[in-house]
Chains A and B, each alone.
Chain A
Amino acid sequence: MTIERHADLTPSAIEARRLDVGYGGRHSAVKVLTGLDLTVAAGSFLSILGPSGCGKSTLLRVVADLLDPLEGTISVLGDTPHAVRSRRDVGFVFQDSTLLPWRSVRDNVRLPLSVGQGSLTRQIEDRSEELLELMGLGGFGERLPHQLSGGQRQRVAIARALLGQPKLLLMDEPFGALDEITRDRLNDELLALWRRTGTTILFVTHSIAEAAYLGERVIVLAANPGRLVKDLDMRPFKQDGNRCTREDPAIVAAMADLRKALELAS
């Protein structure tokens, strides 16, 4: 595996200042996020927790340059979201795997090679074989998505997001539709991947346990309007390398703390 660590490139992966985000134009907009200040350290794993409508998915879409903020500033990897997208420094994983059903698993992973290359300001190479191996999908390359289980499909989606060696991985409830055993296993695989690559990960979830287990830091957003209500550093509760067990009393206590914030936010 030849993935470099990116952690030393910029001091912070994301800097958002007084960010307002909404839909439907500047004046008539329904605000989804208001006055958000957020700094995310490069190479860190941030879990974003919140009730539906709190703007957690919206935040990812602003970072990915899918949505322009109404007010405020945001810099991603020290640059504009647009520049970062043009370098393909950002990978996105959706809740439904969003695999193209007519493409084989391998061709789905290679999608970033067949579209968007023209505007790309950086060369990316075909590491699909390596990534399929890494995600435990060796031998599945010729299958079609409908021949895979939900967990395998999500692995393919992650492999596709990683193809461009993104410095930033945005995950929008990627394991929300999976059964608990598969979800736990993928949580561990994701952490292993993160440790290996040093990619900054923003992970949206509505599961308190998942947020606490994965994140070095967990933020809780409240709805109507979406705003930051809790910012919890998880590192004091964990060992080095963001390691912990799900049953650890410190983690369970942190989860109770998060649950309280989430209940107030809902």
Chain B
Amino acid sequence: MRQEPLPPTLAIALPVLGAASILLTWQFLLPWLGVPAYIVPTPTAILGVFQKSFSLLIGNLWPTLIEALAGFAIGNLTGVLLAVLFVHNRVLQAAYFPIVLFFNTIPILALSPIIMLIFGLGMTPKIVIAAVICFFPTLVNMIRGLDSASSNEHELFRVLSATRWEVFWSLRLPRALPMLFSSLRIASATAVIGAIVGEWIGSDKGLGALIIQASFNYQSDRLYAAIVLSSGLSIVLFCLVVLIERRAIKY
């Protein structure tokens, strides 16, 4: 049987209540069960870190933010440009797409040390890792999107004697936007993952470095605060993408 949709107030209230119930259980049940704070800190303890070590957290947020944003921009742009090249040159696509496909099967954790070797320490390798992670879904989605116009639509443009450029600009690209944005939404989360993974492997700055240090030092409240911050970063990026998507795609 199909269920009735929830009234709007409940649709907003229920997720809030759900989250609150989990937080409350976490806050009171864990200490009561005797789980020590250095294993799982309580929500208030994590919140305390945001007060106590605000400048430390923000100081480590910046590098991760910059790496994730730069990686997001570079990776997606490369994916889009390569997709444009591939759909306009089937020979290139046939020759190089399988290699890209193979490249994508290498786990990013295995690839990261190589990237470190090539680009050294500093921000560049983290940006590259974030870019690599974003690149592939965007390439695949963009190729599919650019090819998603129907044969009737292509015939319509041909009857109108449209140039290749006009077909691209007025047909292929707008057709590709929904698929591009769905991969950008994925990339908004994976770009942050890429930056953090990069920081794990070799950095003393950034949320990734903070996570590693905090876990080595059993500063689990700080560890959790860093995790909350990195997921917050992903959420902000995600919301930005959705905001731009709503302006770009009106139908």
Query: Which residues on A are within 8 Å of B, measured CB to CB?
Result: 61, 64-66, 85-86, 88, 90-92, 94, 96, 98, 100-102, 111-112, 114-116, 118-120, 144-146
Contact = CB atoms under 8 A, between A and B. Distances in A.
B161 to A, nearest CB: 4
B122 interface: no
Contacts of A98: 150, 152-153, 156
A102 B167 CA distance: 15
Interface in B150-181: 150, 152-153, 155-163, 166-167, 170-171, 174, 177
Task: Tell me what chain A mostly uses at the interface: helix, strand, loop, or mixed.
Answer: loop
Task: Tell me what chain B mostly uses at the interface: helix, strand, loop, or mixed.
Answer: helix
Nearest to B156: A98
Contact of B158 (A66, A91, A102): A66
A115 B160 contact: yes
Contacts of A91: 159
A65 to B, nearest CB: 8
| Max count, chain A CB within 10 A of own CB: residue among B160, B166, B171, B249 | B160
Contact of B166 (A65, A85, A90, A116): A116
A116 B157 CA distance: 8
B171 A100 contact: yes
Given A100-B171, A100-B174, A144-B251, A118 B163 contact: yes
A116 B163 contact: yes
Nearest to A120: B161
B177 to A, nearest CB: 8
A98 to B, nearest CB: 5
A85 B159 contact: yes
A88 B152 contact: no
B251 A146 contact: yes
A112 B152 CA distance: 15
B250 A116 contact: no
Nearest to B155: A66
A61 B249 CA distance: 32
B157 A115 contact: yes
Given A66-B155, A94-B155, A119 B163 contact: yes
Interface in B122-157: 150, 152-153, 155-157
A98 B158 CA distance: 13
Q: Considering the complex of A and B, which 7 residue pairs feature the smallest CB-CB distances, nearest first?
A: A116-B161, A115-B162, A116-B160, A115-B166, A101-B251, A92-B159, A116-B162
